[in-house]
Chains A and B, each alone.
Chain A
Amino acid sequence: MTALIVISLVGIATLFGGVFNWKGKTLWLAVAGLMATLVLNFMDWNTSYSYFNQMVKFDNYALAFNGILLTSTLLIMLLCSHHYRNVAQNMIADIYGLIIFTLVGGMLMTSYSNLTMLFLGIEILSIPLYILAGSNRADTKSNESAMKYFLMGSFASGFLLFGIALLFGATGSFHLEGIKTFLSNNPSSANNSMVAVGILMLMVGFLFKVAAVPFHFWAPDVYEGAPTLITGFMATVVKTAGFAAFYRLFSYCFADLSGLWVPLLSIAAVLTLFVGNITALYQKGIKRLLAYSSISHAGYLILAVLAMQDQSDSALLFYTAVYSVSTICAFAVLIAIKEVTGTDSIESLHGMARKNPLLGIATTIAFLSLAGIPPLAGFFAKYFLFVTAMKSGYGWLVLIAVINSLIGAYYYLRVINSVFTKNEQAEKIELNWAYNLVLILTALLSLAIGIAPDFLVNLI
């Protein structure tokens, strides 16, 4: 709880950085604030306190996911100052502030124990994000992205709110506890259309937020138009928070009614995997490729929600952590490439192994990890997820996911191949220290988590 208060205060404080023109110090304020929050977050470990009449509950599940959100934001924050170097100093403070407010929303989405809190969390997360998507004001694409994101996001929020209302009507409670008790005391509620429609609407809302097929249409355009850094932020922090919230609600409250939503969610998983991966095959730009890859990873993550088994929360945590780290690494590469070459086509990576070996190695590790090749972390994440799904009897879904990993490997390999393609004009590329730091950290993490996964596996 202290973590949440501190990070909110830091967010407000960074806004003053713009007013009083603190320049570079604002970044350090934000970074120091995030680090402090990370420490405070884990100081609550094993306490499981509830606050505000059980509106939020900081159990280990919430704290672990908050750890991922904070770490991802920290890494992205480090990239900020150079990425936004052309933006006026007072505006960049706003961007820091908005990123932190988004994070606050995400932290509520992992820890809610009341559906109104869930809704508040989602809105706190979404509204700053709409602005961030349009933060490249001179670019029409960025504006388009913000507009689309706003419209579709509001739509999704509408679904969620409607679902929450219907559930409240049927069960008389906003509390997860209360809903669960009601549903288990009234097994016949599966036939209650208010419950059924409510659950399905909630599911649709979540699928919108995590960009799963068939509610993914907004994602590629929004991802492409938004400033690259913000795309990376959406693909990691927002997705992680969305899945944490999704899993928390569905595994806790609706496990007994799985007959209602499991078949539909399984179909969504299959569609997400195939559509995401197959469309990614045809992308020429790395940014769009990563957008579709992020859709396909939502498909894998749905497996964890479906598995609903004692280890599936760990599998979800592990997967989102690894996916976030590797994706941030990939986005850091993308940002650097785009700055240097001006394009984000896969060909722009040619000769990268010579031009900047660090960038070459980081790309290789990030994409091999996303493809799920051992001994990188992405492999163990997939493995763990598949095991939990298999234990719950989703062997057929695992087989489909396996086939999709193969399709995924193909387009990830294309990127790696490009890194090692010879390029005649191989002048060296120098990168900003912050980029180097983030590249090294994320690449090392992608490797280290794969070699020593035990800690993260047993975290919750």
Chain B
Amino acid sequence: MITLFLIAWPLITGLLLFLSGEESARKLALVSSLVQLVATAFLFFSFQSTAETQFLVDWPWVQSLGIHFKVGIDGISIIMVLLTNLLLPFIILSSGLNRYDKSNALYALMLIMQSALIGVFTSLDGFLYYIFWELALIPVYFILLLWGSNRKVTVKFFLYTLAGSLFMLAGLIYLYTQTESKSFDIDAFYALNLPAETQKWVFWLIFIAFAIKIPVFPFHSWQPATYTESPTPGTMLLSGIMLKMGLYSMIRWILPVLPEAADHWDNAVIGLCVIGIIYGAWIAINQKDIKTLFAFSSMSHVGLIAAGIMAANVHGLQGSLIQMLSHGINVVGLFFIADIIYKRSGTREIEHLGGIRSKAPVFATLFMIILLGSVALPLTNGFVGEFLLLSGVYQFNAWYAAAAGTTIILGAVYMLKMYQHTMLGDVQTATADFAEVTLQEKLVLVPIVILVIAIGVYPKPLLDISAPAVNHLLEQMNSYTTYLR
């Protein structure tokens, strides 16, 4: 039932928030998200570390078409639930930096989005999953439309992702028609054993939706502009949580459902991911705008996660899970920092910034730690994930791993270069009276810094909780592929 609570609570509070006043909206949203976080903590402690799906709710919905309302949590989805519910309070807190017109609607949409995201991460019925997948798109569309700075970009983003989703829908319907019991239940999908030839084309129907959402090269063209033009909470929701929908879905809906196809296309997909890793990093090096730089850097990092998933081994999958969490934390921190810099100096252009450290040393230090997490320095959260991911890709193919390893090197190049230009050096006119972090900003940045270090030093609980589910999934995959051969 706790799964149900996690889906229903933000939805209900979100809808109620539409009716509240603008002043109290942020506080109410924060309270709602903290309640959700407490519930998540409770979930975490009552979760048994086995491969079993727990907290299962299974109600018939449209019985004649084999559609159920089936949600549950296993070791893989629990990490995603944690990610969503952990980041949302930060995103809400950090939105206090700007004044948003009609802010109650903004927070309401954020909470509704949270509900849809939890739905995506917990649903075990293909149709329900698709509904939540699309439902997550509507609030973020309105956030971008109403508070973003460019409508064309928003519409492009919406149509791009909708295009992917519709192909996925066609794929899911096809899978449904192939099941024996005419059901959307994920277990029915697992039991499909489609012929390899069929799997190969169904794979692309479904994968294209994920590839766009993640985004994997060459489906990324919506991303940088959308991230840059969005209001900061929108960017955080998109990069911190929403793109993980695509990554998670690869683990849940592709690997075990179409194992043969995943095996067949792994070279192609990992190849695309590696291209995206290098391409994203390469463009990031030449970026003048901090927010755009973070956007491309995010694309580069996410490419590695996707590659690790397609490598389909223990390290790759474990690494992808922990890196999804870490990436979410880091990226929210980084975009918040970009927002603070913009708010104080009126610009995000690297060349107009400089010497911030001499004005705001605490701010610069906090930024440094988050940045180090992002470039995967040992003992930070980024290191654990990227190390496991690279090891996973290495087991798949050493050359790919060598190419993918450039994320770490190139990442250090553009991040440190940007840091050097903005934080160090001479004070510029834009940064002449750069104020130190306020208490409210510390409330966001300090916990993020603590998480960056804590996960980097002691990732074991997270790895332990997901290990049985990952192993189970891999066994399942291998048994099907051997069965087919």
Residues of chain A touching chain B, judged by Cβ–Cβ distance below 8 Å, are 368, 373-375, 379, 383-384, 386-387, 390-391, 395, 398-399, 402-403, 405-406, 409-410, 413, 417, 420, 453-454, 457-458
Contact = CB atoms under 8 A, between A and B. Distances in A.
Contact of B173 (A373, A379, A390, A405): A390
Nearest to A413: B155
10 contacts: A373-B134, A373-B137, A374-B131, A390-B174, A395-B174, A402-B167, A405-B166, A409-B158, A420-B145, A457-B62
B151 A417 contact: yes
Contact of B159 (A391, A410, A417): A410
Given A383-B173, A402-B167, A420-B145, A375 B159 contact: no
A458 B64 CA distance: 7
B177 A390 contact: yes
Contacts of B137: 373
Given A375-B134, A420-B142, A453-B62, 10 more contacts: A387-B173, A387-B176, A390-B177, A402-B166, A402-B169, A409-B158, A409-B159, A413-B159, A417-B151, A454-B62
B45 to A, nearest CB: 32
A406 B62 contact: no
B170 interface: yes
B371 to A, nearest CB: 37
Nearest to B154: A417
B138 interface: yes
Nearest to A414: B155
Contact of A375 (B131, B145, B155): B131
Given A375-B131, A417-B151, A453-B62, A409 B173 contact: no
A413 B160 CA distance: 13
A406 B166 contact: yes
Contacts of A409: 158-159, 162
**3 nearest CB pairs, A to B:** A374-B134, A374-B131, A402-B166
Nearest to B60: A454
A419 to B, nearest CB: 10
Contact of A374 (B130, B167, B174, B177): B130
B65 interface: yes
Interface string B127-144: 100110011011000100
B134 A379 contact: yes
A399 B170 contact: yes
A401 B177 CA distance: 18
Interface string B147-169: 00001000100110011001101
Contacts of A413: 155, 158-159
B191 to A, nearest CB: 20
B482 interface: no
B146 interface: yes
Contact of A454 (B63, B130, B163, B177): B63
Q: Which residue among B62, B145, B163, B167 has the maximum number of chain A CB atoms within 10 Å of its CB?
A: B62
B458 interface: no
Nearest to A402: B166
Contacts of A406: 159, 162-163, 166
A379 B165 CA distance: 12
Contact of A386 (B63, B138, B158, B173): B173
B61 interface: yes
Nearest to A409: B162
Nearest to A455: B62
Q: Which residue among A387, A399, A403 has the maximum number of chain B CB atoms within 10 Å of its CB?
A: A387
B151 A386 contact: no
B35 to A, nearest CB: 24
Contacts of A375: 131, 134-135
Contacts of B173: 383, 386-387, 390, 398
A93 to B, nearest CB: 43
A344 B162 CA distance: 28
Given A386-B173, A402-B166, A420-B146, A454 B155 contact: no
B207 to A, nearest CB: 16
Interface in B97-143: 127, 130-131, 134-135, 137-138, 142
B188 to A, nearest CB: 15
Nearest to A406: B163
B164 to A, nearest CB: 10
Contact of B64 (A399, A420, A457): A457
B131 A454 contact: no
A374 B168 CA distance: 14
A432 to B, nearest CB: 25
Interface in B56-72: 61-65
A383 B61 CA distance: 15
A368 B176 CA distance: 25
A454 B69 CA distance: 13
A457 B145 CA distance: 35
Contacts of B151: 417
B189 to A, nearest CB: 15
A420 B151 CA distance: 11
A121 to B, nearest CB: 30
B158 A398 contact: no
B172 to A, nearest CB: 10
Contacts of A458: 64
Contacts of A410: 155, 159
A409 B163 CA distance: 10
Contacts of B166: 402-403, 405-406
Contacts of A405: 166
A424 to B, nearest CB: 14
A391 B145 contact: no
Contacts of B177: 387, 390-391
Contacts of B158: 409, 413
Nearest to A354: B102
B39 to A, nearest CB: 23
A413 B131 CA distance: 19
B61 A454 contact: yes
B154 to A, nearest CB: 8
A336 B61 CA distance: 36
A400 to B, nearest CB: 11
B13 to A, nearest CB: 18
B23 to A, nearest CB: 19
Contacts of B63: 454
A453 B62 CA distance: 7
Contacts of A379: 131, 134
Contacts of A386: 169-170, 173
B467 to A, nearest CB: 34
A267 B166 CA distance: 22
Q: Which residue among A373, A403, A457 has the maximum number of chain B CB atoms within 10 Å of its CB?
A: A373
Contacts of B176: 387
Contacts of A374: 130-131, 134-135
B478 to A, nearest CB: 30
B30 to A, nearest CB: 25
Interface in B26-76: 61-65
Contacts of B61: 454
Nearest to A391: B177
A405 B166 CA distance: 8
Nearest to A380: B62
A420 B177 CA distance: 40
A399 B62 CA distance: 24
Interface string B164-203: 0011011001101100000000000000000000000000
Contacts of A403: 166
B343 to A, nearest CB: 23
Nearest to B174: A390
Contacts of A402: 166-167, 169-170
Contacts of A383: 127, 169, 173
Contacts of A453: 62
A7 B324 CA distance: 63
A354 to B, nearest CB: 9
Contacts of A390: 170, 173-174, 177
A10 B146 CA distance: 49
Contacts of A368: 138
A403 B173 CA distance: 15
